[in-house]
Chain A
Amino acid sequence: MAEPLPRFRAAYGSSPQHLVAMIACFTLTGWVALRIAEEATAGRMLLWFVGAAVAHDLILFPIYASADRVLRGALRRSGHAATDGQSPAAHHPLPRRAGHTPSRPSPLNHIRVPALATGLLFLVYLPGILRQGRETYLAATGQDQHPYLARWLAITATLFLVSGVWYLVRQIRWRRVDGSAR
Chain B
Amino acid sequence: MGVTDRQTGFPQRWWRALERHPPPIPGLRGDRWRSPLRGPWLTAVYGAVLLVGLPLVIITGLLDYAAYGPQFDQALPREVGWLRLPPFDWPTRPSWLFRVTQGLHVTLGIVLIPVVLAKLWSVIPKLFIWPPARSLAQVLERLSLLLLVGGILFEIATGLLNIQYAYLFGFDFYTAHYFGAWVFIAAFVAHVMLKLPRLVSALRSRPALRDPRRSGQREPRRPELRTPLTATRPEPPDPDDLVATAPGAPTMSRRGAIALVGGLSLLLGALTIGQSLDGRWRRTALLLPRGREPGTGPNGFPINRTAAAAGIRPDEIGQRWRLTVRGGGRLVTLDRPRLLAMGQHTARLPIACVEGWSTRQTWSGVRLRDLAALVGVDDPASAQVRSLEKAGLFNQAILQANQVLDADSLLALRVNGADLSADHGFPARVIVAALPGVHCTKWVADITFRTGADG
Contacts and interface: CB of A to CB of B under 8 A. Distances in A.
Interface of A: 10-15, 17-19, 21-22, 24-26, 28-29, 31-32, 35-36, 39, 41, 44-45, 48-50, 52-53, 55-57, 61, 72, 82-88, 91-96, 106, 108-109, 113, 116-117, 120-121, 124-129, 132-133, 136-143, 147-148, 151-152, 155
A48 B309 contact: no
Interface stretch (B201-209, B285-293, B327-335, B412-420): B285-293
A143 to B, nearest CB: 6
A13 B7 contact: yes
A29 B190 CA distance: 12
B225 to A, nearest CB: 16
B268 interface: yes
B190 A22 contact: yes
Interface stretch (B64-72, B163-171, B363-371, B441-449): B163-171
A117 B267 contact: yes
B271 interface: yes
B264 interface: yes
B113 A41 contact: no
A128 B36 CA distance: 37
B294 A22 contact: no
Which one of B81, B147, B185 has the greatest number of beta carbons of chain A within 10 Å?
Answer: B147
B165 A83 contact: no
B172 A39 contact: yes
Contacts of B252: 85, 109
B233 A56 contact: no
B194 A21 contact: yes
A45 to B, nearest CB: 5
Contacts of B114: 120
Contacts of B179: 32, 35-36
Given A12-B9, A13-B9, 6 more contacts: A12-B10, A14-B137, A29-B147, A85-B251, A141-B303, A142-B294
Contacts of B113: 120, 124
Nearest to B153: A52
B308 to A, nearest CB: 8
A140 B249 contact: no
B306 A155 contact: no
Contact of A49 (B150, B182, B219): B150
Interface string B68-95: 0000000000011101000000000000
Interface in B168-212: 168-172, 175-176, 179-180, 182-183, 185-187, 189-190, 193-194
B154 interface: yes
- Interface residue tally of chain B, by bracket? 35 or more
Contacts of A126: 160
Interface majority SS (helix, strand, loop, mixed), chain A: helix
Interface stretch (B52-60, B119-127, B344-352): B119-127
A128 B180 contact: no
A85 B264 contact: no
A95 B154 contact: no
26 contacts: A11-B136, A12-B9, A13-B9, A14-B3, A18-B137, A18-B140, A22-B144, A22-B190, A24-B186, A48-B157, A57-B149, A72-B251, A83-B249, A83-B250, A85-B249, A86-B250, A92-B231, A95-B230, A109-B251, A120-B264, A125-B288, A127-B166, A136-B166, A140-B304, A140-B309, A155-B286
Contacts of A137: 164-166, 289
Given A53-B149, A85-B250, A120-B264, A125 B287 contact: yes
A135 B143 CA distance: 38
B93 to A, nearest CB: 29
B229 A141 contact: no
A49 B154 contact: yes
A88 B249 CA distance: 6
B229 to A, nearest CB: 4
Nearest to A38: B79
Contacts of A121: 267-268, 271, 287
Contact of B287 (A28, A41, A128): A128
B233 A44 contact: no
B131 interface: no
B194 A18 contact: yes
A15 B193 CA distance: 12
Contacts of B171: 39, 41, 44-45, 48
Contact of A21 (B8, B147, B193): B193
A22 B124 contact: no
